[in-house]
Structure 1
Amino acid sequence: MVKRVLAVAVFGCLLVLAGCGGPVQDDILNYINEELKTAQTLEEKAVSAYEGVAGANYTDDQTMYDALVNEVIPTYTDLLNELETVSIESDELKEIHAIYLSGAQKQYSAFEKIIEAIEKQDSGIIDEANQLLEEGRLEIEDYNNQLDALAEEHNVEIEKK
């Protein structure tokens, strides 16, 4: 029943300074290199656990359910808590970070919906979950694009993993 669940987006990057500093540039560097370190690790762990039981790796509802309840949801809860406590100085970066947080919250809600769908054996709820996953993915993609643009504007080069 759960085979149509989409994969989630992973955000990960490393920054290299390319130019002379400024307050926003310093904030971007601190944000990526320090503030998001734990969040990146948590997101990679949650996404890996989810992808291990979704899509082509889907075997059965119980395996999906167990992974969501025991790994994905607890790790994503930690991720959201981490994202909510990030320290950001500049307004531009705060606005961009809010997009990431919103996307991550939608993906978390999607995981909860998948659990509900399995419990109720309701494929309509899977459709809702897929919609939330897609919305979250698009928001995180927008976040990455806006962060890239802000970094470029402030002479910071982002190297993707």
Structure 2
Amino acid sequence: MKKSILALLCIGVLFLAGCFNDPVQDDILDYINEKTTTAAQLESQAIATYGSVSGGNYQDDQTLYDALVNEIIPDYTKFIDELESVDIETEELREVHEIYLSGAEQQFNGFVKIVEAIDNQDASMIDEANLMLDEGRENINEYLDKLNALAKEHDVEIEKK
């Protein structure tokens, strides 16, 4: 009799331990803490450099052009390569990650379009490029919103840096 009660208790403990295993939670933690850290650094670097030569910091076309060709586009290319190489285990997180990748690609295309616009001295292409950058930012913001919602749904707290 004692053996059967002990066996049932062991099965019950294993079952409960299995209930606490959340593959999406594990995937999110790994994604944020391990798999996207290099990508996040490359993105931050590229965006900071772009901010230093655009908008209120714009000096002239040549400065913007040089930064795009020599720093921003190469860093952003590495960033996208990093995003593409991320192995994601769960479909829920994979769908969110695809939004990030799409936004990053749109931003990259915007940067390339600015180079093309400067080469051709075509102001209408700058407008197109800015639209691409805006759409890319919107997708990246959507990604962040969905990642935060998915994290909350799976009891993961994302620290803001």
Q: TM-score, normalised by structure 1?
A: 0.87
Structure 2 CA distance for aligned equivalents of residues 150 and 84 of structure 1:
20
1:56 counterpart residue number: 56
1:13 counterpart residue number: none
1:1-161 paired onto structure 2 within 5 Å: 21-161=21-161
Structure 2 CA distance for aligned equivalents of residues 71 and 43 of structure 1:
12
Q: How far apart are residue 160 of structure 1 and its match?
A: 1.1
Q: Which has the higher helix share?
A: 2
Structure 2 CA distance for aligned equivalents of residues 56 and 143 of structure 1:
27
Look up the SS of the partner of 1:157 in the other structure: coil
Structure 2 CA distance for aligned equivalents of residues 109 and 133 of structure 1:
8
1:92-136: CA deviation from partner (whole Å, max 9, x where unpaired) = 000000000000000000000000010101000001001101100
Q: How far apart are residue 22 of structure 1 and its match?
A: 1.4
Structure 1 CA distance for aligned equivalents of residues 21 and 67 of structure 2:
44
Structure 2 CA distance for aligned equivalents of residues 99 and 124 of structure 1:
27
Q: How far apart are residue 21 of structure 1 and its match?
A: 4.8
Identity of aligned residues (%): 59
Look up the SS of the partner of 1:76 in the other structure: helix
Q: Which has the higher strand share?
A: 1
Q: How many residues are aligned here?
A: 142
Structure 1 CA distance for aligned equivalents of residues 35 and 21 of structure 2:
18
Look up the SS of the partner of 1:160 in the other structure: coil
1:9 counterpart residue number: none
1:23-70: CA deviation from partner (whole Å, max 9, x where unpaired) = 110000000000001001000110111111000100000000000000
Greater gyration radius: 2
Look up the SS of the partner of 1:158 in the other structure: coil
